[in-house]
Amino acid sequence: MGRASEAVARVGEEPDVVTGESAPAARAPAGQASAGWKVLPIVEGLVLLIALVLPWVLQDYLTVFATRVVILALFALSFDLVWGYAGIMSFGQALFFGAAGYGVALMARDLNVTSILLILPAGALIGLTASLLLGGFLLLGRYPSSVIFVSLGTLTGSYAADRLARGWYYLGGQNGIPSIPPLTLGSYEFEEGPVYYYMVLGILVVVYLLCRFLVRSQFGLALAGLRENEQRIAFFGYKAQHLKAIIFAVGGTIAGLAGSLYAFHEGFVWPNMLGVVFSTQVVLYVLFGGSGTLIGAVIGTVIIEGVSFWLSDNYRDIWPIILGVLLLLVIMFRPLGLISFVLGERELEAGEVAVKNLAEHSQESVELSVQAVTQAVTGA
């Protein structure tokens, strides 16, 4: 009976990340974990180092452009969480980005609120609210939602928001809301330049670290398993739809934060921020850089925006065609994204490793529980 009690205790020693009920632990073996993440920290460190020195070597107008790229990289992180880790193809990610942008622009215009201590939480809250509403409708139905249903649902939401903004006079119609004043902190105004750049970069680094912690947690392992085999995850006691809704809301919150920063950086908001163009743009960032790695989304954003800037300046008539061909070549010959040039196979297949480990530990737990019951019955 003592062994039976110990076995049952081992089965329920870790709680389910969504329901709080007992669920099997999912840990990668130490050898795999240490060998699988050797290159990634180096890549992340190099990207951060380059980002830190940029304002010292760039001209002022290029620092302003770099600030915009960092904000878009934050936006790309939100999509990589949703698609790269949970397998949710959200073609409406710009809905949360643009809704937050419009919301904080209205706060600045109508309420004269420009404090960064109010604007950034408000933008994140708007993104969270919009994603909860849309995610609740698309993901928490009576039956599991198909990939096509969620994709078309998010796309429709983004398109509808775009049309609404264009036709609503209060939101400025086609022209949007111009002349947004700068962000403030007390009496200090965040003017465009190195200070604004480092402020945005600091926010990106903090959000990135939080995302990295999230995807390496028990919740992150469940997400990896969810993308690889949703039925298996459900069989082992995880609420697949709840997992999707949670990560969808987290992605919407980050997109809202990025949208609020973007609105004050650009000085105006317009309907395209809500629409399909921005949603498709963030998909390309992640595809180009590599999904499911976080750093791939950042690298993809930087390269696409940098190449676009250079091509538009030197090949004004045909630069969209050149960029389109480059993107097509990368997707055809490096389907895992540019990050696959530097990351090893184990990093890129982290989701597959996680789901296998999750399945193995879950199977062991089931076997232990069966063994415990058998011993209890025979012992009695």
pLDDT at residue 31 is higher than 80: no
Q: Is the pLDDT of residue 374 over 50?
A: no
SS3 for 334-356 is: CCCCHHHHCCCHHHHCHHHHHHH
State the pLDDT at residue 361: 44
Which residues, other chains included, contact 166 with Cβ-Cβ below 8 Å and sequence gap of 6+? 173, 174, 271
Q: What one-letter code names the amino acid at 7? A: A
Range(s) of the domain holding residue 220: 2-379
> What mean pLDDT value characterizes the chain?
79
More confident site: 336 or 114: 114
Nearest CA-CA partner of 295 in 259, 342, 253, 254? 342
Query: Rounded mean pLDDT of 92-112?
Result: 93
68 membership: H or E segment, kind and range: helix 60-79
Structure tokens at 68: 């915009």
pLDDT by residue (tens digit) across 194-207?
899 999 999 999 99
* 216 secondary structure, DSSP code: T
Confidence of residue 329 (pLDDT cuts 50, 70, 90): confident
Determine contact, residues 300/337, Cβ cutoff 8 Å: yes
CATH number at residue 54: 1.10.3470
Integer Cα distance of 183 and 113 in angstroms:
9
| Joined tokens for residue 70 | 């960092």
Q: Are 303 and 186 in contact (CB under 8 A)?
A: no
Q: Among 245, 285, 244, which residue's Cα sits nearest to residue 94?
A: 285
| Calpha distance 190→240 (Å, rounded) | 43
CA distance 115 to 261: 12
- d(CA 243, CA 238) in angstroms, rounded, equals 8
Residue 90 pLDDT level (bands cut at 50, 70, 90):
confident
In the prediction, which pLDDT does 332 show? 82
**Structural domains in the chain (count):** 1
Q: Are 288 and 304 in contact (CB under 8 A)?
A: yes
Structure tokens at 218: 């028990």
pLDDT digits 0-9 by tens, 275-312: 888 888 899 899 888 888 899 999 999 999 998 888 88
